[in-house]
Amino acid sequence: MGKEMNLGSLVPWLALLISVVSLLVSAYAIYRDKSRVKVFCKVVYDCSKDESENLDNPPPFLRIYAVNTGKRPIFLSDLCGYISRKSSSFWALKDEPIVYDEHGIPSVVSSYFVHDVGVRLDDGEIYEYRIEHDNYTKLYAVNNGGALFKKYFLTDVLGQKYPVKDSKKGIKKLLEYRA
């Protein structure tokens, strides 16, 4: 009868151990599969074949890349220009679609769904956003007295911020360009 008692008291502890191990495996799988976004930028010089451009001094533009390195999709909604902790400007990553109402009058926003103005990135997908050297609305805060943006970051639909690596240097290079 002593062996039956030991086996009877061992079974609940064994079940508890199996439950804890399965909980840890599940938590690790959730952590491993979450979406991860790497955001960085590069300054690229436009050496197009346009005859009006000076090929010896091509104009620069800033390429902002967002890469989803996780397993789950993510929805990026805005590009933000940072001025200070209290002020920044936001732009939708996609141009807002123009829709006409029943009277033929254009309406700027068809809906406020993220799939209209945001970008969905699945596993391994890359999104590129470009800022040209003469796009002053993306370099200066028009609503804040023309203050220069210090850096950029992207936001997702949940409000998570993803700073754009090397955006300070990129803004500086765009501003240094002289035609």
88 and 171, same domain (yes or no)? yes
Q: How confident is the model at residue 163 (pLDDT cuts 50, 70, 90)?
A: very high
Based on the structure, what is the number of domains in the chain?
2
Which DSSP string do the residues of the chain spell out, in sequence order? -HHHHHHHHHHHHHHHHHHHHHHHHHHHHHHHHS--EEEEEEEEE-----TTS-TTSPPEEEEEEEEE-SSS-EEEEEEEEEEETTEEEEEESSPPPPEE-TTS-EES-S---HHHHSEEE-TT-EEEEEEETT-HHHHEEGGGTTEEP-EEEEEETT--EEE-BTHHHHHHHHHH---
Q: At residue 5, does pLDDT exceed 70?
A: no
113 and 25, same domain (yes or no)? no
42 and 96, same domain (yes or no)? yes
* Residue range(s) defining the domain that contains residue 121: 35-176
126 and 49, same domain (yes or no)? yes
**What pLDDT is attached to residue 106?**
60
Q: How confident is the model at residue 107 (pLDDT cuts 50, 70, 90)?
A: low
Q: At residue 116, does pLDDT exceed 70?
A: no
What are the pLDDT digits (tens) for 56-97? 777 888 899 999 988 888 888 888 888 887 777 878 777 655
